Amino acid sequence: MLRLCVSRGVRFCDGYTRREVLQVGAVGVMGLTLPKLLRQQSLAAPRRTSARSVIILFLSGGPSHLDTFDMKPEAPEEIRGTFRPVRTKVAGLHICEHFPRTARLADKLVVLRSLHHTSGNHPAASYWMMTGSPIARPAPQSVTLSREDRPHLGSVLAKFLGPKRRGLPAYVTVPELISPVGPPRPGQHAGFLGAAYDPYRVDSDPNLEDYSPGELRLRADLDGDRLQARRSLLEAINRQAQAFTDADNVATLDPYVAQAFDLVSSAAAQSAFDIEREPPAVRERYGRHTFGQSVLLARRLIEAGVRLVQVNWVRHDNGEGGQGYDSHRDHLAWCEKELFPPTDAAFASLLEDLEARGLLRETLVILMGEFGRTPRFNSHAGRDHWPHCFSVVLAGGGLPGGIVYGASDRIGAFPTAQPVTPQDLFATIYHLLGLDPETLLYDQQGRPYHLAQGQPIKALL
């Protein structure tokens, strides 16, 4: 097994000067001061790196590491279950038999087997894995979105990097925010950075005939000339307001307005969100289900110029998606029938397509959930929440492939080598994207926060 315990001579760039980023002022009347936002983003110029965009495949509920990428075939059956590992072309890396297509791509994967944190609570754990920091608000206040919170990774990239192409959003969530039992959970928007950096939310299932990308659709009675006339009017109002008011104190009426104008008038955006342009054979290869078509849509968006796309596994307790990856009952049957086949098809198809299109090296793909699942089955043949050790899989983005980093004990309960926190994972991601993890963000009270408080995994850089 290839375990990277040392840097293997790979050069690691540290000791960067800590950069302070000016706090973004108010966006301005009707949110149309886009040049100012772009100037603010340019203050944290990134280093030259291979990774330019990110796709997060978030398996909501928490996938079992023991039944996917950290199997324990020598453990008793009450630990290992009945799934069998299959060998891959990477020595020592075995993957569950129900991920056959992913197993064939093992040389492109970085499997982190030693992720760990301390929260077994879904909202708090999801927040940690999407922002790179534990949530500061206590339960039960921490179950939904708040402007007090730290921003999602996509919002940070929207602020500092923006989209790769004008007329497209920087950060997109598809098909919907994670909200299995009520309001959307925390960590999925821009938090204290403000609504200007929130994700563009598709809020529609791309596998259905009535799929719609939302506000991208231009009303039939609003042609291009009328749209431009409305934008010009709002820009004039904005200029007049700033002539009489300190620009940094102008109230924000709608931070989505500028983005909305760009989106509805952008041919690139219209094309990128139109999944029906994909050949039927391609759609079948990803899988004709919500997750598969959402992952395919993510590939289209990244290819068009979106900076980060998060694809959420849809789950609604007692509704669409059922328990999702939160398999407290009938775990093995649910995984074999409902979870693993669509995940394998979508993930493998994404990696294959990105490589074929020359995009894998510059696109970091992250397959993860909020935590792992217990080594032992419960009385309902399920596995419960387990944040103390779990796996995250990375691919692309300039990372070397065919690597297992870290290890767990004989039953997958705790890390035994090279433990990785979410903070370390985020520091690594920012480094790959050319952003110094020590760059400062400021909340609404002017308090500074580093992008990430962990350490990049030197052996992967």
- Return mean pLDDT, the chain: 85
Dist CA 278 CA 289 (whole Å):
15
More confident residue, 222 or 301: 301
Model confidence over 53-71: pLDDT tens digits? Answer: 999 999 999 999 999 999 9
Which range in 11-20, 92-101, 138-147 is most confidently predicted, on average pLDDT?
92-101
Bridge partners of 408, per DSSP, are 415
Which comes out higher in pLDDT, residue 56 or 270?
56
- Report percent pLDDT > 90 for the chain: 72
- Identify the H or E element spanning 200: strand 200-201
Model pLDDT, residue 269:
86
Tell me how far apart the alpha carbons of residues 421 and 408 are, in angstroms, rounded to a whole number. 14
Could you tell me the pLDDT band of residue 40, with boundaries at 50, 70 and 90? very low
Q: Is the pLDDT of residue 179 over 90?
A: yes
The confidence band for 270, taking pLDDT boundaries of 50, 70 and 90, is confident
**Range of lowest pLDDT (14-28, 73-87, 407-421, 439-453):** 14-28
Segment 131-139 shows an average pLDDT of: 93
Helix (H, G, I), strand (E, B) or coil at 219: coil
pLDDT value at residue 361: 97
Q: What is the mean pLDDT of residues 401-406?
A: 96
Rounded distance, CA 48 to CA 403, Å? 24
* Residue 174 exposure: Cα atoms within 13 Å on the Cβ side: 32
Q: Is the peptide bond before 279 cis (omega within 30 degrees of 0)?
A: no
- Of 43-57, 325-339, 385-399, the poorest mean pLDDT is in 43-57
Across 190-194, 250-254, 412-416, 432-436, least confident range: 250-254
Residue 401: the pLDDT is 94
Which residue's entry shows tokens 């955006």?
269
Residue 368: pLDDT band (50, 70, 90) is: very high
Q: Say what the pLDDT of residue 139 is.
A: 77
Q: For tokens 């928007």, name the residue.
A: 189
End-to-end CA distance of the chain: give it in Å, rounded: 19
Domains of the chain: 45-209+277-409+416-442 (3.40.720.10)
Please tell me whether residue 448 adopts helix, strand or coil conformation.
strand
pLDDT at 235 over 60: no
Q: How many CA atoms are closer than 13 Å to the CA of 217, on its beta-carbon side?
A: 9
Q: How confident is the model at residue 229 (pLDDT cuts 50, 70, 90)?
A: low
Q: How do residues 104-118 score in pLDDT, each as one tens digit?
A: 999 999 999 999 999
Residue with tokens 């009938």: 330
Measured in whole angstroms, how far is the alpha carbon of residue 57 from the centre of its chain? 6
pLDDT for residue 207 is more than 90:
yes
Do the Cβ atoms of 86 and 96 come closer than 8 Å?
yes
CA distance 330 to 327: 7
Contact 65, 330 (CB under 8 A): no
Q: Which residue has the tokens 């799929």?
A: 211
Q: Looking at residues 333-358, what average pLDDT do you find?
A: 97
The confidence band for 223, taking pLDDT boundaries of 50, 70 and 90, is: low
d(CA 25, CA 446): 11
- Which of the residue ranges 15-19, 35-39, 44-48 would you say has the lowest mean pLDDT? 15-19
pLDDT at position 227 is 47
Q: Give the model's confidence band at 228: pLDDT under 50 very low, under 70 low, under 90 confident, else very high.
A: low
Instruction: Return the sign of the alpha-carbon dihedral for residues 140, 142, 145, 148.
Output: positive
Show the DSSP H helices in 315-361 as ranges: 331-334, 340-356
Helices (H), 245-322: 257-264, 267-272, 280-286, 290-304
8 A C-beta contact, residue 113 and residue 391:
yes
Contact 114, 419 (CB under 8 A): yes
- Contact between 60 and 339 under an 8 Å Cβ cutoff? The reply is no
Give me the pLDDT at residue 144, please.
93
- The one-character DSSP state at 314 is P
